[in-house]
């Protein structure tokens, strides 16, 4: 039997209703903050991610699905392509390619699948979904302002509240600007020199190529060493420190709780200044429900003009997982099951059509079913009522409507059926 590839999965009903519920709430909340949707391709040139996300990151070094294109056109032949592991690099590419600086400040969001060859486990998949949002534009449009950072974080708090998710923590840090990081990396290199041989193979490599990435290490034995390393907070210059203070001041003023965590450096190289993650208690090891931060130099690194930006990506799979406990009331079962008696499929189809026009969720049975089977089917789909459609009922213009939970039954005139079902008075 052919099965779904390891790390991929089918999303089935009724769970898909939760996904739709989340996406509808996202679109509504984002709309209130004037974000608009962007859709970019699912694959891009490999170089985009290598340059954007960074060669030394786990994502680029180990996790990308990359292949050589077999196009016949000489110009494309052998081109290295990659399934997008994240959305930010593609959105910034689109910003540059479409000269979107002409629009001033761009507030964009994207919902879609991402691909990383990670070891699958609870909350970690090889095809997973992100809800990504980015604010990007020329500095003259205010894209570098701490007000943008705070607005995004406040929007996320609003969204999670709206979804009924209360058990979250916002971890906040500033990773400074490239100058601060150069000094920090140098200090890390020195601090790691005497101890790196005791660390895992990845950290030994990171200590040489990109010491900051040591903070991505999950190996338990390495943690006591990492705990004693210098922190980025000691290396922030005055403008970065002020920027960070301004973000925190607004957050306090609008009542968004956060916890400062100067170990948080995030697993992608493009970050500058504000970096953050929201974690959720019920998720276990993969507890980061979303992550993001500022990337003031990314556009230039990709060959574009200066364009400060900030954004985040929510792991939609994880968001839906954390929602399950609070998800009651999201699912809409059929309000009514229309059960045709023998040779009544035509009449039943007519009636179902009338009821659906009144925006009711209607499940339609089959006249080959005996009454008992219709009741069983109605119960299985979770219908609230069953409506019996027999010859006598059609002639009389009145139908038996039965509440499946209470067993109560009344006769209702055709014209009043929709209202009777909606009002729930039976
Ligand atoms: P990231 O931290 O790599 O950031 O991913 C963001 C979120 O995607 C994570 O917090 C997690 O919820 C989810 N996620 C990541 N990998 C997986 C996986 N294998 N399975 C399930 N969920 C996963 C970024 O991708 C940045 N582009 C975010 C960003 C946008 N920064 C600025 N703008």
Q: Is the CB of 273 under 6 A from ligand 1?
A: no
Residue 7 has pLDDT above 90, yes or no: yes
Q: Is the CB of 176 under 6 A from ligand 1?
A: no
DSSP letter at 143 equals T
User: In angstroms, what is the span from residue 382 Cα to ligand 1's centroid?
Assistant: 36
Q: Is the CB of 168 under 6 A from ligand 1?
A: no
* Mean of pLDDT values over 273-302: 92
Q: Which helix (H) or strand (E) holds 147?
A: helix 146-162
Q: Is 158 left (phi over 0), alpha (psi -120 to 50) or beta?
A: alpha
pLDDT at 284: 75
Phi, psi at 127, each rounded to 5°: -110, 115
Tokens 């006249």, residue located:
367
Alpha carbon distance 356, 359 (integer Å): 5
Pocket mutation for ligand 1, best pick of 313, 316, 317, 321 (most atoms within 8 Å of C-beta): 313
Ligand 1 atom closest to Cα of residue 319: 12
Q: Which of 126, 133, 30 is nearest to 87 (CA)?
A: 133
Q: Do 115 and 83 contact (CB within 8 A), yes or no?
A: yes
Closest residue by CA, ligand 1 atom 12: 315
Q: Which helix (H) or strand (E) holds 92?
A: helix 88-97
| pTM, to two decimals | 0.92
Say how far residue 377 (Cα) sits from the centre of its chain.
35
Q: What mean pLDDT value characterizes the chain?
A: 95
Q: Is the CB of 206 under 6 A from ligand 1?
A: no
Q: How does pLDDT run across 184-215, given as a tens digit for each residue?
A: 999 999 999 999 999 999 999 999 988 999 99
Residue 401 has pLDDT above 90, yes or no: yes
Q: Is the CB of 289 under 6 A from ligand 1?
A: yes
What residues contact residue 390 under an 8 Å CB cut-off, 6+ apart? 341, 344
Q: Is the CB of 290 under 6 A from ligand 1?
A: yes
User: In angstroms, what is the span from residue 398 Cα to ligand 1's centroid?
Assistant: 56
pLDDT at 328: 63
Ligand 1 atom closest to Cα of residue 89: 27
Ligand 1 atom closest to Cα of residue 277: 10
Q: Which of 212, 208, 274, 282 is nearest to 244 (CA)?
A: 274
Q: Is the CB of 132 under 6 A from ligand 1?
A: yes
Query: Helices 146-162 and 15-32 meet at what angle, rounded to 10?
Result: 140
Q: Is the CB of 335 under 6 A from ligand 1?
A: no
Q: Is the CB of 134 under 6 A from ligand 1?
A: yes
Q: Is the CB of 124 under 6 A from ligand 1?
A: yes
Q: Is the CB of 149 under 6 A from ligand 1?
A: no
What residues contact residue 65 under an 8 Å CB cut-off, 6+ apart? 82, 83, 115, 117
Alpha carbon distance 263, 265 (integer Å): 6
* Mean of pLDDT values over 157-162: 96
pLDDT band per the 50, 70, 90 thresholds, residue 216: confident
Q: Is the CB of 146 under 6 A from ligand 1?
A: no
Q: How does pLDDT run across 297-334, given as a tens digit for each residue?
A: 999 999 999 999 999 999 999 999 988 765 666 778 99
Alpha carbon distance 265, 272 (integer Å): 10
Q: Please give the full DSSP string across 379-410, using - where no structure is assigned.
A: HHTT-SEEEEE-HHHHHHTEEEEEETTT--EE
* Mean of pLDDT values over 259-277: 94
* Mean of pLDDT values over 59-86: 92
């Amino acid at each position: 039997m052919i099965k779904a590839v390891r790390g991929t999965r089918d999303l089935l009903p009724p769970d898909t209703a939760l996904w739709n519920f989340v996406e509808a709430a996202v679109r509504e909340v984002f709309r209130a903050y004037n974000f608009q949707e962007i859709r970019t391709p699912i694959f891009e040139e490999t170089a985009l991610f290598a340059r954007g996300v960074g060669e030394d990151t786990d994502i680029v070094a180990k996790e990308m699905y990359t292949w050589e294109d077999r196009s016949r056109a000489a110009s494309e032949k052998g081109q290295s392509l990659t399934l997008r592991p994240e959305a930010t690099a593609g959105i910034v590419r689109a910003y540059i390619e479409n000269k979107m600086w002409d629009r001033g400040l761009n507030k964009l969001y994207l919902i879609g699948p991402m691909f990383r060859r990670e070891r699958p486990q609870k909350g970690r998949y090889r095809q997973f979904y992100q809800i990504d949002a980015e604010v990007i534009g020329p500095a003259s449009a205010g894209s570098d302002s701490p007000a943008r950072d705070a607005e995004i974080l406040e929007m996320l708090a609003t969204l999670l509240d709206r979804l009924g998710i209360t058990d979250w923590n916002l971890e906040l840090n500033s990773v400074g600007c490239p100058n601060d990081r150069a000094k920090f990396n140098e200090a890390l290199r020195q601090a790691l020199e005497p101890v790196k041989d005791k660390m895992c193979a990845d950290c030994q490599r990171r200590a040489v190529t990109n010491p900051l990435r040591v903070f991505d290490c999950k190996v338990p034995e390495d943690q006591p060493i990492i705990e004693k390393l210098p922190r980025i907070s000691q290396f922030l210059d005055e403008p970065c420190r002020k920027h960070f203070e301004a973000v925190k001041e607004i957050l306090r003023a609008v009542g968004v709780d956060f916890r400062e965590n100067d170990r948080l450096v995030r697993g992608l190289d493009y970050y500058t200044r504000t970096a953050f993650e929201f974690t959720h208690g019920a998720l276990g090891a993969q507890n980061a429900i979303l992550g993001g931060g500022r990337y003031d130099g990314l556009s230039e690194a990709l060959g574009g003009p200066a364009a400060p930006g900030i954004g985040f990506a929510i792991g939609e799979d994880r968001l839906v997982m954390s929602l399950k406990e609070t998800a009651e009331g999201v699912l809409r079962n059929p309000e009514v099951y229309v059960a045709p008696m023998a040779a009544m499929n035509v009449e039943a189809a007519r009636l179902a059509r009338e009821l659906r026009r009144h925006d009711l969720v209607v499940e339609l049975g089959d006249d080959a079913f005996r009454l008992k089977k219709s009741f069983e089917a109605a119960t299985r789909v979770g219908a609230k009522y069953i409506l019996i459609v027999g010859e006598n009922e059609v002639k009389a213009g009145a139908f038996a409507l039965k509440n499946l939970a209470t067993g109560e039954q009344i006769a209702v005139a055709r014209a009043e059926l929709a209202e009777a079902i909606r009002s729930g008075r039976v």
